Amino acid sequence: MESRLVQAEAKYRFLVEQIPAITYTAALDIPGKLLYVSPQLSALGYSPDEWNQSGWRAAQLYSSR
């Protein structure tokens, strides 16, 4: 079972890292806590911590409403 989980995670990570968009997962129990951010973020010149703290992510999400 552990081996299947590791394989599934590797496949998911590979797919996400091929998408030409920023993909992330966030903790549901801690507002603003990012668990994973795809490497495409570096194309914008941000590290995951900088991106999360900059307010840019929130501004992009809420400006589309």
pTM: 0.62
Q: Say whether pLDDT at 61 is over 60.
A: no
Euclidean distance between CA atoms 46 and 42, whole angstroms = 5
Tell me what percent of the chain is helix, strand and coil, each rounded to the nearest 5: 60, 10, 30
CA nearest to 9, candidates 34, 21, 17:
17
Domain extent listing, the chain? 2-63
pLDDT per residue as tens digits for the range 19-43: 888 888 888 888 777 888 888 888 8
